[in-house]
Every structure is written in C-alpha cells, then in structure tokens.
Structure 1
Amino acid sequence: MSDTKAPDSSRRSERSRRAIYAAALDLVSEAGYAKTTVEGIAARAGVGKQTIYRWWPANSKAAVLMEAFLDLAEQAREAVDATAGSEIPDTGDLGADLKLVLRATVDELNAPTFDRPTRALAAEGIVDPALGAEFTAKLLEPQLRLYVRRIEAAQAAGEVDPDVDPWIAVELLVGPLHHRWLHRTRPLTHAYADALVEHALRGLAVRP
C-alpha cells in the first residue's frame, strides 16, 4: 500500500488568504473602494464568500482590504535591507539615515502595486472616518513613530536642537513627500528626497 499524505490544510488556508489579499488589492486599484465587494473579492480569489465572512466576520470588506494593505506594506519594508529591522538605522549620520529611508519611501510610493491601493484607501479614508482612523492607527502612526524615535536619538546625540518638537520635525520630512505624491505636482525622485532631508536638517540644527 502506498503511503499517501493528507492535504496540508494550513498551506491551503495560507494560499487562499494570499489569493484573497491579491484579489482585494487588485479590485480596489481597478474599481475603487466603493465598487469593491466581498463577492467580487471571493470570485477573483477563487474562494467562496463564506470563507471571507468566516475569517473576517466584522465589516468584512474593510477588514480584508486593511489586512491586505498592511501585509503589502510589510513586504515592502522587508524588501529593503536597511529598513527591514524594527527601527530606522542609526549610523551616527542623521542625514544619511533619513535619505536612505526617504529614498525607500519614494520607491514604494512609485511602485504601481503600492500606489494604486494606497490612493484608493487614502481617498476612502477621507469620507469614511472609521476607515481613516484605522488606516492612521495601524499603518501611518507606527511608521511616523520610527522617525520620531530617530529624531529623539539625534537630539540626545547633539545633532538636533533639543527644543525641536520631534513630531513637527517628522512632518517637515514626510509631509512634502506625500503632498507631491498625492497631487502629482512633480516627479517623486531620490533627488527630491535628498533635498527634503537637507532643507529640513538646516531648520533642525543645533543653534550656536
């Protein structure tokens, strides 16, 4: 008698979950948040819609999209060796560290797989306060805190004026970047990221 193995349900579930993530991101990119449905996600992923309702019972569409987007963002972070850890690098050169991270952010925002779903969720977050708050709490806030901690470390090392508010300092860096990305006023480039860091650091420098 041949030795046959039972199907690995955990692998099957993981494949289905990945298919659901991909389907959700594709649909929200193609049709927008409002027109994306659980039925559409299930059909694109090749699973029954009851699978989605079982795994994401509460506010399923929003929950699926948010989880899919967080997974996408995590993959993007892991793809960049310098930012794969839990903190922004601290080499002792604040300018170099910030340029490295902002350049990686530029690459991420310019990638079609990230750009389209980000725009769709950002737009929906404006008209849906609950989704916007979740987007901020689960994705934006944790990322900004990484910058804040790096600025605080630079203050402790004497690189940044101790009277500077770290949160305002971070906004000087990432605010213009996201403004240019959102409105497409000009190309989003590494050179622009470097210029933002250089301008911001002039304002953050320790006063004589």
Structure 2
Amino acid sequence: MSNGKGPDHSRRKERSRQAILAATRALVAEEPYEKVTVEAIAAAAGVGKQTIYRRWPSKSAVVFAALLALSEDTDGQSVTLPDTGDLGTDLKLVMRATVEEFTDPAFDRLIRAVNTEISNDAALAAEYRQKLAGPLDEAKRTRLRSAQEAGQLHVDADLDLVLEVLYAPLFQRWLHRSGPLTAAYADSLVDAALRAFGP
C-alpha cells in the first residue's frame, strides 16, 4: 500500500509541475500578459489553484519558473560556451543563438513577461540573477578568460565590460523594438567588441 510519499507520488508531482510550466508558457505566448492569471494556468494545466500556490507564491514566480525550465540542464553538466580556439567564431555562434531566441515569438513574450515582473519585484530580480543570469554570465566570463589567456583579448580587459558591450545593445534593441535583430547585427556586435578589447 502506498503511503503517498513514494515514487508514484513523486512522479505525479513532477507531471503536475511540468503541466503547470507548459500551460504557463502556452498562455503567455497566446494571451496579453495581464490577462494570464493563476486561475487560468491551473485550468489549462488541469490542476487546482492551490496546487500552484503550494509550490509558487505568485504568478510572477510561476512565469519565472516556466522560463527557467527552458534552460534546465538535463545531463547535470554546468553551462559552457563553445571553445573552438577562435573567440570571434565562438561569440558569433552564441550571439546568433541569442538573437534566434529573442526573435522566437513564444520566447519573446515569456522573457518580456519576466522582465516586466523583475522590474517591480526585487526578490524575483535577485532570484533571476542567482539562478539564470548569474550562471550564464559566469560561463561567458570563463570563455572570455580562456581567450584572454590565449592572447585573443587584451590582458587588462574588463571581462564584465566586454559582456556589456556585447549584450547591452542587443538587449536594448530588443527591449525597445528599435531595430531588427539579425545574425548580421549579432556579428557586428562581436566585431565591435573584439576591436575594442582585442590584444
């Protein structure tokens, strides 16, 4: 007889979690964000509202979890950037992938929803930095540090500043919808950064 705490219970909880996160992503992709509610997420996931509130305290927390789940690493390995030995090539691959994400309509709406929430929620912003932005930035710094040691970046280059020069223009163009996000634009940001911080 099951005591409700064995493998079956764990599997049910995980299925419920995945259903909630998938429903959240689908609703955010389809509806104006302000119309997405915990009640609507629960109905779409086929669970009770209290099932959501037992795990997450608010809509913003569920939406962030839905975003975070997209980057969950299933093989247990840490986040790494490509390292072919050619920093320009590697950065262009990464920046082009970022452009592709930001121009995907479903991802665009989800990340805009998260940015809306973290702009008004300091605790969520801290969680975003800890669980998503922080590990990604550290992986990027690790790749830049490797390039620095190989003589592909100036020995005194501020790696955080290199990242800002790479990503801030892209993020601003995306946030304000002020211009197209293309592979050519991604490449131009890499070229500009390497001109500024090259050896």
Counterpart of 1:72 in structure 2 is: 70
SS in 2 for 1:127: coil
* Structure 1 residues 11-22: aligned runs within 5 Å: 11-22=11-22
Q: How many angstroms does 1:196 deviate by?
A: 0.7
Q: What TM-score, normalized to structure 1?
A: 0.82
Letter in structure 1 aligned against 2:180? P
Which residue of structure 1 aligns with residue 136 of structure 2? 143
Q: Partners in 1 of 2:121 and 2:196 — Cα distance?
A: 36
Quote the Cα distance in structure 1 between the aligned partners of 2:103 and 2:19.
Answer: 23
Distance in 2 between residues matched to 1:132 and 1:86, nearest whole Å: 20
1:143, CA displacement in angstroms?
1.2
Question: Does the aligned pair in 1 maintain the 2:147–2:153 contact within 8 Å?
Answer: yes
**Are the counterparts in 2 of residues 103 and 190 from structure 1 also a CA contact under 8 Å?**
yes
Cα distance in 1 for residues equivalent to 2:20 and 2:170: 31
Q: Which of residues 107, 116, 120 is equivalent to 1:114? A: 107
Assess if the C-alpha contact under 8 Å between 2:37 and 2:59 holds in 1: yes
Q: 1:151 & 1:157 partners in 2: Cα distance?
A: 10
**CA deviation string 1:89-113 (max 9, x = no partner):** 1111000000001111111111112
Point out where structure 2 has 5 or more consecutive residues left out of the alignment.
Answer: 1-7
**Contact conserved, 1:72 with 1:114, CA < 8 A, in 2?**
no
Q: Name the SS for the 2:71 alignment partner.
A: helix
CA distance in 2, matches of 1:85, 1:125: 25
RMSD: 2.2
- Return the offset for 1:10: 4.6
Find the aligned partners of 2:195 and 2:48 in 1 and give their Cα distance. 56
> How big is the shift at 1:192?
0.5
Give the AA of the match of 1:203.
A
Return the alpha-carbon distance in structure 2 between the equivalents of residues 200 and 51 of structure 1.
47
**Per the alignment, in what secondary structure is the counterpart of residue 159 of structure 1?**
coil
Relative to structure 1, is the Cα distance of residues 85 and 55 closer, same or farther in structure 2, using a 3 angstrom cutoff? closer
Q: Which amino acid aligns with 1:68?
A: A
Match of 2:5 in 1: none
Which residue of structure 2 aligns with residue 31 of structure 1?
32
**Which SS does the other structure have where 1:186 is aligned?**
coil
> What TM-score comes out, normalization by structure 2 length?
0.85
Once residues 35 and 122 of structure 2 are traced to their aligned partners in structure 1, the CA distance between those partners, rounded to angstroms, is: 18
Q: Note closer, same or farther for the CA distance 1:154–1:172 as it changes in structure 2 (3 Å cut).
A: same
